[in-house]
Amino acid sequence: MTVDVQAVLAGNRLALSRLLSQVENDTLAGQHALVQLFPHGGKAALIGVTGAPGTGKSSLVNQIAYHFRHPEDGRPARRVAVVAVDPSSPFSGGAVLGDRIRMSALTGDEGVFIRSMASRGSLGGLARTTAGVVQAFDAAGFEVILIETVGAGQAEVDIARLAHTTLVVEAPGLGDDIQAIKAGILEIADILVVNKADRPGVEQTERALRNMLQLAHPGRRDFEGVTISGGGESEPIWLTPIQRTVATEGDGVPELLKLIDAHRAHLEETGDLARRERARLTVEVNLLVESSLVADWRAGISNGQYEEVLGMVFERRLSPRQAAEVLIHGEEAS
Amino acid sequence: MTVDVQAVLAGNRLALSRLLSQVENDTLAGQHALVQLFPHGGKAALIGVTGAPGTGKSSLVNQIAYHFRHPEDGRPARRVAVVAVDPSSPFSGGAVLGDRIRMSALTGDEGVFIRSMASRGSLGGLARTTAGVVQAFDAAGFEVILIETVGAGQAEVDIARLAHTTLVVEAPGLGDDIQAIKAGILEIADILVVNKADRPGVEQTERALRNMLQLAHPGRRDFEGVTISGGGESEPIWLTPIQRTVATEGDGVPELLKLIDAHRAHLEETGDLARRERARLTVEVNLLVESSLVADWRAGISNGQYEEVLGMVFERRLSPRQAAEVLIHGEEAS
C-alpha cells in the first residue's frame, strides 16, 4: 500500500490515518513517506504529558485539546493532535486504550486528531514509532501535538524527551508514600499539574511538590512560570510552576494553557528551543541507528547458527557475553 | 581494579561487593569475571517482584527474604540476594533507593545480600546490568535471588523476563481506575499478591483481579496455585493464585513462600523451567549483542562526522532515517 504524501500535506484525514498505520507497523511505505514529509515539519509545539496512573491524565489531555480549540484569550484556535502511548500494555497488540474516554465535545472536530498507541515490542521500538507519528502530525500541519504517556517509569521519561514542553501530572491521595512522586520525574517537568484539585489532600500534595522543587533549586523564590533574569549576565531561567486543575470541570485549564505558551516563549527567547529540538532529533537518529544495526546483523545470521550458539549458552559452555561475541564476530572472546 | 573470582566463589562478601560495582559500571574486569563465573551459576531460583508504587513491595521483599532465612516449614534456611531496581530514577546516578527501609532483622545476617540499582542510561543498559548482577549472585551461591522493580511499566516487564517466577503485587485503594491493574502485567504474573490486605477494599481488589484472571483463563476453576491436569494428554497447567499479605506484620508471607516453592516445582515437573531459562538467556544474549553492535558502530565514527550529520537533520536537509543510513553506511538512503 502506498501513502499519498500530497494528500497528507493537504490535510486529508483518511490519508493521514493510513500513513499513521504504516508508520506504526514500520513499513517501507511509511518510512519513505516520513522521509518526504520531514522537510515540511518542525513547526508544531510538542507537549509531553506524563504522570502516574490515577492522576486523570487522559481527561486533562482532552481538556487541554478542547481549550486549544476554544481559546478564552482571543488567540486563534489551533489544530491539535493527541498521541496517547501506553508502554505497559505490551501484549494487547491493539492500539485502543481502554481507559481513554472520548470527549464528546471533540468528536466531529476536524481540527483534532487522536491516536492511541500500544507497545508492540521493545521500548526503543515504541519511542521510535512515536517519533514517526509525531513527525507525521507535524508535517500534516497540526500546531500542537500532545504526547500522553500512561505511567511514570523510564519509558515515559524517554518519550518525554520527544517533547519541547513536559507536563508532569500529580493528584492528591495517590498512595501514602513518596514513591508516587519521583525525583527523576520532577527533573523532566517544565510544568507541574496537580489535577483533581477539588479533592482532600491537595494542599499536602502541592506542598510536597514545592519542597521537592525547593530542593532542586535552593535559590528559588515565590514567583513561578515566568522568565526571570538569573542575575548578572546569565540567561533567564524557568522556574517550574505548579498549576492546580480539575480536569473533569475544566478548572485551571485556561491558566495551564497560558503557562504552556509562556514556556514556549521562554524556550524561543533563550535559544533553548533549538537546543531541545537538536537533543530530540539526536535521540530519534540514535534510535534508528540502533534498530538498523540490529536488523542488519539479524539478516546476516542464520536461525541455525543463532540457535546453536544459544544452545551452548543454555548448557553453560558459553557465557552470554561470549555468545554475543561469537554471534557478531564469528569467534569467541578471549 | 581486578576482581577476585575465587574469593567470590568462596563466598567472600567484600569480593562480591567489588564485583557488583564492576558489573554495574560495565568494566572490562567485570565482564571478564562474569565470563569466568558463568559456568558456576544456574542453580538459583530467580524471583521477580513487580507492582505499582504504593503497594508496599519493598516491605514485602524484606519479609520474603526474612522468611527464607527463618522458614516455618522445617526446610533449611536459604541464602537470599535482593536486587532492587529503580528504572524511573535515571538522574539520580546513585544506587541507593530512598524508599528502601532496611529491615533490622536482616542486618548482620551473612546469608542476605541487598543491592539497590538505579538506571544510569538506557533501559536496555539497566536490564543488561541487572542480568549481570543476577549472574554474580547466582555464581556466589545465593539460592534465592529476588529481583524487585519499582513501578509497573514496560521496563518492569522486561526485567521480570529475567526471573523464573514473577510476583505481581497489588494493594487496595490505589487510585480509582482500572489503570492500576494492567492486563499486560497480569499476563506475566505467576503469583498475584494483594498486600496491605488489612485495609478496606481488599475484597474489591481481589475480586477485580479474579475477574481479570477469569477473562484470561475462561475455564478456570476455584483451586489455584496447584498443578492440575489439563485434561487428556496435555501438560499440567498453573493457575495463577492470589495471596493476601500484610507485609508490615508478616501475615500471609509463609503461605506466599509455599506458593513460590510450588511454582518452582511446577516449572521443574513440566519442563517449563528449561524453557524459561532458555528464554531468559536469549534475552540476555540479545541485549549484549545490541550493546556491542552500537559500541562497535560508535567506535568507527568520529564525533565530527556524527555532529555534521546531526546538523543536517537539524536544518531539515536530512530526515532522521536518512541520517541513520548515512551514519551506518556512509551514504544517503535512496
Contact A257, A67 (CB under 8 A): yes
In this prediction, the answer to ipTM > 0.90 reads no
Contacts of A328 in chain B (CB under 8 A): 289, 292-293, 296
Residue A95 has pLDDT above 70, yes or no: no
Residue A228 has pLDDT above 70, yes or no: no
Distance CA B9, CA B140 (A): 5
pLDDT the model gives residue B265:
96
What 8-state DSSP symbol labels residue A102? P
- The DSSP-derived string for B12-64 is -HHHHHHHHHHHHTT-HHHHHHHHHHGGG-S-SEEEEEEE-TTS-HHHHHHHH
What percent of chain A has pLDDT above 90? 55
Residue A217 has pLDDT above 80, yes or no: no
Mean model confidence pLDDT for chain A: 83
- The DSSP-derived string for B81-138 is EEEEEETT-TTT-SS--TT-PPPTTTTT-TTEEEEEEE--S-HHHHHHHHHHHHHHHH
Strand partners, B246: B251
Distance CA B283, CA B264 (A): 21
**CATH number among 1.25.40.10, 3.90.1150.10, 3.40.50.300, 3.60.20.10, domain A41-272:** 3.40.50.300
What 8-state DSSP symbol labels residue B246? B
Residue A211 has pLDDT above 50, yes or no: yes
Contact B30, B2 (CB under 8 A): no
Contact A195, A171 (CB under 8 A): yes
pLDDT the model gives residue A218:
57
CATH no. of B41-290: 3.40.50.300
Residue A260 has pLDDT above 90, yes or no: yes
Give me the residue from A178, A294, A296 closest to B290, CB to CB: A294
The helix or strand, by DSSP H or E, that contains position B279, with its residue range, turns out to be helix B272-299
Q: What dihedral angle (degrees, nearest 10) is formed by the CA atoms of A198, A200, A204, A208? A: -60
What 8-state DSSP symbol labels residue A218? T
Q: What is the pLDDT along chain B (334 residues), one digit of tens a residue?
A: 678 999 999 999 999 999 999 998 889 999 999 999 999 999 999 999 988 777 888 899 999 999 999 998 888 999 999 998 865 544 332 334 434 445 667 878 889 998 888 765 555 677 888 899 999 999 999 999 999 986 656 666 676 778 999 998 988 876 544 444 555 667 788 999 999 999 998 998 888 888 878 776 655 554 455 544 444 555 688 989 999 999 999 999 999 999 999 999 999 999 999 999 999 999 899 989 999 999 999 999 999 999 999 999 999 999 999 999 999 998 654 4
Question: Any residues with CB less than 8 A from the CB of A219 and at least 6 apart, and which?
Answer: none
Strand, coil or helix: B281: helix
Contact A20, A115 (CB under 8 A): yes
Nearest residue of A to residue B126 by CA position?
A154
Alpha-helical regions (H) of chain A:
5-9, 13-24, 28-37, 57-69, 123-139, 154-160, 183-188, 202-216, 253-270, 272-299, 303-314, 320-329
String of b and e for B95-121 (b: at least 16 CB within 10 Å)? bebeebeebeebeebebbbbbbbbbbe
Contacts of A154 in chain B (CB under 8 A): 87-88, 90, 119, 123, 126, 153, 155
Interface of A with B in 77-136 (CB under 8 A): 87-92, 98-99, 119, 123-124, 126, 131, 135
Per-residue pLDDT reduced to its tens digit, A237-257: 898 999 999 999 999 999 999
CA-wise closest residue to A23 among A50, A47, A1: A1
Distance CA A70, CA A109 (A): 11
Distance CA B162, CA B143 (A): 16
pLDDT the model gives residue A87:
57
CATH 3.40.50.300 in chain A, residues?
Answer: 41-272
Distance CA A324, CA B6 (A): 25
In the structure, what pLDDT confidence band is assigned to residue A161 with cuts at 50, 70 and 90? confident
Give me the residue from A92, A294, A323 closest to B285, CB to CB: A323
In the structure, what pLDDT confidence band is assigned to residue A125 with cuts at 50, 70 and 90? confident
Question: Any residues with CB less than 8 A from the CB of A268 and at least 6 apart, and which?
Answer: none
The helix or strand, by DSSP H or E, that contains position B273, with its residue range, turns out to be helix B272-299
Averaged over A75-87, what is the pLDDT?
Answer: 88
Strand, coil or helix: A16: helix
pLDDT the model gives residue B178:
44
Burial class (CB in 10 A: 0-12, 13-18, 19+), B266: buried
Phi/psi of residue B92, each to 5°? -65, -40
Amino acid at B230: G
Distance CA B234, CA B249 (A): 41
- The DSSP-derived string for B229-244 is --STTSPPEE---EEE
Per-residue pLDDT reduced to its tens digit, A274-317: 999 999 999 899 989 998 999 999 999 999 999 999 999 999 99
Interface test with B, best of A285, A316, A327, A329 (most B CBs within 10 A): A285
Phi/psi of residue A131, each to 5°? -60, -40
pLDDT the model gives residue A322:
96
Residue A233 burial (CB count, 10 A)? 6
Give the distance from CA B93 to its chain's centroid: 20
Interface test with B, best of A128, A157, A321 (most B CBs within 10 A): A321
A-B CB pairs within 8 A amount to 215
Interface of A with B in 203-262 (CB under 8 A): none
Strand partners, B192: B168, B242
Distance CA B233, CA B238 (A): 15
Averaged over A171-196, what is the pLDDT?
Answer: 71
Strand, coil or helix: A319: coil
Distance CA A189, CA A259 (A): 13
Helices vs. strands in chain B: H and E counts, helices first: 12, 9
Contacts of A124 in chain B (CB under 8 A): 124
pLDDT the model gives residue A180:
43
Contact B239, B223 (CB under 8 A): yes
Averaged over A165-170, what is the pLDDT?
Answer: 92
Distance CA B185, CA A90 (A): 9
